[in-house]
């Protein structure tokens, strides 16, 4: 029987499970693939779970936008760290991770056939979500250092454009966008009557004195700026699935419709854990991110050995480097060869929209320092062997 293909046939398959299967078939492989951290949630997150368990009504559905105690804690965090004030023009919605925040936003602001501007290389789940919604991702190239080009973004806007997406610190490149550029993009969105979706999942991961900037803090930007956040990275919360979004107040009803349909409410037990995590001692984030910063230096020193074979773009954020390989071989085939012959895994750049040329994403946050050192040495050795 011939069944009609659904909209999902146009959506790329997630790359992480594909690489995971390759790793499974090559025991002993070290993965520099998945974008998670190596450390656990703070003890304060676990300590608050008895409070959840002590109240039987917590087993029932709770508010679609999040429990009030967590909303209050997030309001304080946004004010102190992001300089975003929650007022009559905006509001917080707790989500099952920031990926859910993104699909909430896309479904709330678009109709099928609308366009969303992504800067390449893009985060693959963003592109997937846009296509799932029956919309069209419009791809705008970044410069040679993966920085935004506001003029190109402005030129890509059409009557069907509903939003421009920025990710800073960036996945997959690790670059951080300067305040001047983010202000330009935010102003373009304001002038053209479209939304600025700012994905800030890696907000705490900046290095060498670089400061994170939230477009939602720009004056009078709350009417058209959608800010996405996650506890998955900084708090070791990946499987707990808690993120949150700051949205214009006029989008709240639409977002609630989406969230109530897909989720009903964010997992309440995870919200209690998140409330505890936000009460962690200051040194929890400081010490863990400092450890990742030390690993980053090890990775940089090793990658510098590849300068004749790859372009290594400076990156002051997240826990990624995005390598441009000076070779036209297929990126996925290169990844397979690295896994099968050198026991090291990375992610091919094609999944991030880089179809012309060979690119690799290297992630260094998920491993203890010694394992990361061993992994990056394998990668350097493997690339030298394959490409020389």
- Secondary structure of 267-335 in the HEC alphabet? CHHHHHHHHHHCCCCHHHHHHHHHHHHHHHHHHHHHHHHHCCCEEECCCCECCEEEEEECCCCCHHHHH
Q: Given strand 358-363, what is the order of strands in its sheet?
A: 310-312, 320-325, 358-363, 347-348
Structure-block tokens of residue 310: 């790859």
User: pTM value?
Assistant: 0.96
**Which parts of the chain sit beneath pLDDT 50?**
none
**Structural class in CATH, domain 43-277:** alpha beta
Cα separation, 265 vs 70, whole angstroms = 13
pLDDT value for 16: 84
How many CB atoms lie under 10 A from the CB of residue 191?
10
pLDDT value for 9: 86
Structural domain boundaries in the chain = 9-41+282-387, 43-277
CATH ID of 9-41+282-387, from 3.40.50.20, 1.10.3720.10, 3.90.1150.10, 3.40.640.10: 3.90.1150.10
Residue range 278-336, pLDDT digits in tens: 999 889 999 999 999 999 999 999 999 999 999 999 899 999 999 999 998 999 999 99
Residue range 158-195, pLDDT digits in tens: 999 999 999 999 999 999 999 999 999 999 999 999 99
């Amino acid at each position: 029987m011939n069944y009609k293909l659904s909209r999902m046939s146009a959506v790329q398959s997630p790359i992480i499970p594909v690489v995971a299967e390759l790793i499974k078939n090559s025991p002993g492989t070290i993965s520099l693939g998945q974008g998670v951290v190596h450390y656990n949630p703070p003890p304060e997150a676990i300590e608050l779970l008895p409070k959840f368990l002590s109240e039987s009504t917590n087993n029932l559905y709770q508010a679609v936008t999040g429990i009030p105690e967590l909303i209050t804690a997030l309001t304080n965090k946004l004010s102190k760290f992001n300089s975003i004030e929650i007022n009559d023009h905006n509001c917080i919605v707790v989500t099952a991770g920031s990926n859910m925040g993104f699909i909430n936003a896309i479904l709330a602001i678009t109709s099928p056939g609308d366009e969303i501007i992504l800067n390449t290389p893009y985060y693959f789940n963003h592109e997937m979500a846009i296509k799932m919604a029956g919309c069209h991702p419009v791809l705008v190239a970044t410069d040679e250092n993966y920085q935004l080009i506001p003029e190109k973004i402005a030129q890509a806007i059409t009557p069907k454009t509903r939003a421009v997406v920025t990710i800073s610190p960036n996945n997959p490149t690790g670059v951080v966008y300067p305040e001047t550029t983010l202000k330009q993009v935010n102003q373009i969105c304001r002038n053209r009557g479209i939304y600025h979706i700012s994905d800030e999942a890696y907000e705490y991961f900046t290095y060498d004195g670089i400061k994170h900037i939230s477009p939602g803090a720009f004056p009078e930007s709350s009417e058209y700026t959608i800010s996405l956040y996650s506890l998955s990275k900084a708090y070791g919360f990946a499987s707990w699935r808690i993120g949150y979004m700051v949205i214009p107040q006029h989008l709240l009803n639409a977002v609630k419709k989406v969230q109530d349909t897909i989720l009903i409410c964010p997992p309440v037990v995870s919200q209690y854990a998140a409330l505890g995590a936000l009460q962690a001692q200051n040194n929890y984030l400081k010490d863990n991110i400092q450890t990742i910063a030390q690993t980053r230096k090890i990775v940089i020193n090793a990658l510098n050995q590849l300068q004749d074979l790859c372009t290594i773009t400076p990156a002051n954020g997240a826990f990624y480097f995005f390598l441009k390989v000076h070779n036209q071989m297929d990126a996925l085939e290169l990844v397979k060869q690295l896994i099968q012959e050198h026991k090291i895994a990375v992610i091919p750049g094609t999944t991030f929209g880089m179809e012309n040329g060979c690119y690799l994403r290297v992630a260094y946050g998920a491993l203890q320092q010694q394992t990361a050192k061993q992994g990056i040495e394998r990668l350097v050795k493997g690339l030298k062997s394959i490409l020389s």
